[in-house]
Amino acid sequence: MKLLRPNCRDQFTSEDLAFITEALGSETDRDVLFDLLTDPEMRDMILDQDKLRDVILANPKFLHITPHLYFYVLVRQTLRRAGIDDRQLTDYVAEVLTDFSNAEGRRRSLPDNVKDSSYLFEMMAALQEADDQTAFQIRAHIGNRSLFMTGIFAENLKERTRRRGAPDISYYEHMGAANFRAASHHRLADEFEVSEVFEKLGDRFHETRIALNDLRERYLAMDDIEPPGSLLLN
């Protein structure tokens, strides 16, 4: 089963670690810094350095790092500024941005027998005929997609509401929070170790999406992330 999990930091590559040591260390202490990155507690302290964020933002188009590192650092900085000092939540939200930043990633997070759609009412309709496992995946997907759309493409949603009478952001917030909360109580949530983070997102969806609005405004260029098809306004 393809399911996003709060494991963004576990997916850093050796190239990511080399980038961190070059960004933060001098020529004489880079080997020491690289060794420190193998200790989880020290790694987390290093990842919180403002200088690392600044180096990443200085020329993001030419960075040889994974989206996992890129989004983890930016999400961590943004959530902390919003008063959400939670690395597990950061891990998960960064994974959502990594996976949903292109159309192929969004398709991978759905079961093969469920048609991809940017319209949440179609996802909810699919729930009615889904088996137990598929329903769990769909609920997680609805939560992820709602977070992605309200967090990164809030202005697009507001424009759709203004021009077309489409549901406003509160609708997507409600759908995202409700489906994260429902998924957190599913038997598979414990098996895949996502019950806690789903519960957090169910409870703190609004705060998290507001923080992502700030991330988009501060850090992301308009062409950094491809919007879902239904958000491409005519």
pLDDT means per 10 residues, the chain with 234 residues, are 92 94 85 92 96 89 87 97 97 95 64 66 84 93 94 90 86 96 97 97 98 94 56 36
Q: Which residue has the tokens 């507690």?
A: 41
Q: Residue 83, class by beta-carbon neighbours within 10 Å (0-12 exposed, 13-18 middle, 19+ buried)? A: exposed
Q: Looking at residue 117, what is its pLDDT?
A: 58
The number of CA neighbours under 13 Å toward the Cβ of 185 is 6
Q: Looking at residue 116, what is its pLDDT?
A: 61
pTM comes to 0.90
Q: Looking at residue 233, what is its pLDDT?
A: 34
Q: Looking at residue 225, what is its pLDDT?
A: 64
Q: Looking at residue 29, what is its pLDDT?
A: 85
147 SS3 class? helix
Q: Looking at residue 49, what is its pLDDT?
A: 95
63 SS3 class? coil
